[in-house]
């Protein structure tokens, strides 16, 4: 696993620490493990951190049932802090480690008209390994849709 694919592209990533795994779970140790993996996959120089982060990270607003609670406007207002944090990094993508975060970070990006993409860690690991097929790229933008495509002939698009 390496970050050669991104050596010249220099596509930038930021990391949303999931409250559940980091602050409420294993703490900064697991946040550092997450960074070890992400830096290996996209290149250390291409990771731009949010402030604050790790155990002190702001919740994105996707947790606690907020996504289903019937208060969408309030949920988006809650997520504005996260949106501003992501945009301030200038990153092309926000990597989310949990399903709720993925849904919320994706939604606030759309709602506040941000230009960043929201991507799962597993997608990037497979991309760097050269085993990410054309139909496994739903959350990748045009800048990554065509990078090292595994079995491009199987594309459904």
Partner 1 sequence: MSESTIKIKGKKQNFFLDKVKEILPDEGNLNLCLTCGACASGCPATGLEDMDPRKFLRMCAMGMDEEAVKSPWVWMCTMCQRCIYVCPMKINIPQLIYNARAEWPREDRPKGIRDSCDMALRNDSNSAMGTAPDDFIFVVEDVLEEYKESQPEFKDMVTPIDKPGAFFFLNQNSREPVTEPDEMVPLWKILHLAGVDWTYGSKGWAAENYCLFLADDECWEKVTRVSANQADELGCKVFLNTE
Where do contacts with partner 1 occur on this chain (CB under 8 A)? 19-20, 23-24, 55-59, 61-66, 68-71, 74-75, 77-82, 98-100, 103, 120, 122-123, 125-126, 129, 131-133, 135-136, 138, 150-151, 154
* Closest to partner 1 by CB, 10 or 145: 145
CB of 123: closest distance to partner 1 in angstroms?
5
* Closest to partner 1 by CB, 25 or 45: 25
Q: Which runs of consecutive H residues, i.e. helices, occur in the chain?
A: 28-42, 72-89, 99-111, 121-129, 142-145
CB neighbours of residue 91 within 10 Å: 21
For the record, the structure tokens of 58 come out as 């702001």
For the record, the structure tokens of 85 come out as 């944090």
CB of 114: closest distance to partner 1 in angstroms?
17
* Closest to partner 1 by CB, 64 or 90: 64
For the record, the structure tokens of 137 come out as 């790229």
| Inter-residue contact 16 to 63 (CB < 8 Å) | no
CB of 105: closest distance to partner 1 in angstroms?
13
CB of 127: closest distance to partner 1 in angstroms?
9
Q: In 3-state terms, what secondary structure has residue 16? A: strand
């Amino acid at each position: 696993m390496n970050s050669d694919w991104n050596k010249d592209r220099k596509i930038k990533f930021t990391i949303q620490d999931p409250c559940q795994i980091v602050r409420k779970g294993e703490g900064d140790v697991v946040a550092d493990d997450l960074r070890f993996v992400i830096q290996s996959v996209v290149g250390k120089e291409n990771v731009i951190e949010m402030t604050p982060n790790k155990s002190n990270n702001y919740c994105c607003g996707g947790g606690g049932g907020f996504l289903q609670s019937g208060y969408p406007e309030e949920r988006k207002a809650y997520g504005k802090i996260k949106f501003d944090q992501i945009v301030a990094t200038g990153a092309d993508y926000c990597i989310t480690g949990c399903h709720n975060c993925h849904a919320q970070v994706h939604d606030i990006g759309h709602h506040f008209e941000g230009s960043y993409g929201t991507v799962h860690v597993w997608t990037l690991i497979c991309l760097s390994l050269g085993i990410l097929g054309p139909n496994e790229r739903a959350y990748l933008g045009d800048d990554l849709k065509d990078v090292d495509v595994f079995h491009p002939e199987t594309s459904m698009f």
